[in-house]
Amino acid sequence: RNLISQETFKFHFKNLRYAIDRKDTFLCYEVTRKDCDSPVSLHHGVFKNKDNIHAEICFLYWFHDKVLKVLSPREEFKITWYMSWSPCFECAEQVLRFLATHHNLSLDIFSSRLYNIRDPENQQNLCRLVQEGAQVAAMDLYEFKKCWKKFVDNGGRRFRPWKKLLTNFRYQDSKLQEIL
């Protein structure tokens, strides 16, 4: 099981308006069967940027090479991402191509912060992700708690929200809604 440290989570997932020195993207993922009464996690873990390859692309390579081969193409699966940054333009392009070729997969993306949100190409691709059926949302307190519980080496400690978490969520959410 792939966990991140408490310090890494608090530093990289803190939903600041201006996140200085936070260049890495962390992607916590979960894959479940879509039509289950009580979804069971088939796969979950954490990716981060590696060798100039963004976390989203690392996930897509891994998923294509390791997971797709064992999943039934007749079943529907849900992929959920909890990300420190929303996808950049290029990564969103790759994700769009991936979703277009795998109709039995749905994707929910919850991001702590919006990446380069003033860039029209980034805005356009966030819209395209939604148009192609992906759910794109800002992480709220519930998602932070869920991420902390499942993906952080938390030593049994409960998630303690940082100051302005809800204020910053409202800011991120309102900017995302303006775009979408």
| Helices and strands (DSSP H and E) totals, the chain | 6, 7
Answer yes or no: 90 catalytic: no
Question: Phi and psi dihedrals of 165, rounded to 5?
Answer: -60, -50
Strand partners, 77: 33, 105
Both tokens of 78, joined, read 């849900």
Tell me how far apart the alpha carbons of residues 67 and 31 are, in angstroms, rounded to a whole number: 10
Which of 30, 56, 93, 132 is an active site residue? 56
Strand partners, 113: 85
Active centre residues (catalytic): 56
